[in-house]
Structure 1
Amino acid sequence: MELVLNNLPQALIIIGILALIIEVAVLGFATFVLLFLGLSLIFSGTMMYAGLLANDWMTALWVNAVLTFVLALTLWKPLKRLQQPSNNEQVNNDFADIDFVLEDDLNSNSQVFHSYSGIQWQLKSEQPLSKGTHVKVVKKTVGVMWVKEI
């Protein structure tokens, strides 16, 4: 205990780093509590080491309480937004707006291809389409264009 009291700034920094390691490695940013505490311990230890704060337990306690609260207020919402799943909506772009006339019958069993931009794309549709039907691309996946009748 004497070692920690004599080296309070370094002890705060080490405890802060350990809290960050536990938050990232063990909890995987699930709670953020140790993140805020770890950051405040590192900040307060650094300020004590630089001589900006008094080197005693009472100062360390109050500074960490205030810093943890301020960090939680400022970082909570941005970090929560990062945890939310991404939106996988299809983006409408010029590639999806192409239309053409089918050269073969298209049904669930057929292997129909369309050449576009130097690539042979397999065509698929939710309903059967006959040869000569004017179609529009409504969705695209890897190597596949989903079409529907215009």
Structure 2
Amino acid sequence: MEFLMNNLAETLMILGVLALIIEVAVLGMSTFILLFLGLSLLFTGLMMNFSLLDSTLTTALWSNTIVTTALALLLWKPLKRMQEQRDSTEVKSDFAELSFVLESDVDDQGLTTHTYSGISWKLKSEHPLTTGTKVKVVKKEVGVMWVEAQ
């Protein structure tokens, strides 16, 4: 314990880096609490290392409280907005290359089903397709495969 108190600045910086690693690698930036705390510990350790703050436990506690609060107030909304951004590009998967012959007529109502991988999928098409038409999957939604003639 005495070793940690004699090297308080370095201890704070190490704890800050560990908190940042846990936030990014383990939690995937889902909570910002460890991000703010990690940055605060790192900043406080650096300020103590450059003798801008006294190397005491009380100073470390108050500095981390103030810096964590300031970072939370400054960064909360921008980080929350960054989390809410969605990528609208469609993901290509093995469904995109799936092709088969229709066993019944298909239209945009989804009354026809096709069993694939043990799951009964509704089939829909923008243009009506007749029985026996060879089709390929062009889009997928929850429980629905959109097909078009090949």
Q: Which category of TM-score, normalised to the shorter sequence, fits these structures?
A: 0.5 to 0.7
Note the residue ranges of structure 1 that are not aligned, 5 or more in a row. 90-107, 109-124, 129-150
Deviation at 1:87, TM superposition (A): 6.3
- Deviations, residues 95-135 of structure 1 (Å, cap 9, x unaligned): xxxxxxxxxxxxx9xxxxxxxxxxxxxxxx9458xxxxxxx
The residue number in structure 1 matching 2:36 is 36
Whole-angstrom CA distance in 2 between matches of 1:69 and 1:78: 15
The residue number in structure 1 matching 2:80 is 80
The residue number in structure 2 matching 1:133 is none
Whole-angstrom CA distance in 2 between matches of 1:5 and 1:72: 27
CA RMSD of aligned residues (A): 2.8
Whole-angstrom CA distance in 2 between matches of 1:54 and 1:19: 23
Q: TM-score, normalised by structure 2?
A: 0.59
Note the residue ranges of structure 2 that are not aligned, 5 or more in a row. 90-105, 107-124, 129-150
Whole-angstrom CA distance in 1 between matches of 2:31 and 2:126: 44
Q: Is 1:7–2:7 an aligned residue pair?
A: yes
Whole-angstrom CA distance in 2 between matches of 1:25 and 1:17: 12
Larger-gyration structure (1/2): 1
Whole-angstrom CA distance in 1 between matches of 2:51 and 2:5: 16
Q: TM-score, normalised by structure 1?
A: 0.59
Structure 1 pair 50–20 and aligned structure 2 pair: CA distance change class (3 A): same
Identity between Structure 1 and Structure 2 (%): 59
Equivalent positions of 1:108-123 (< 5 A) are none
Residues matched between the structures, number: 101
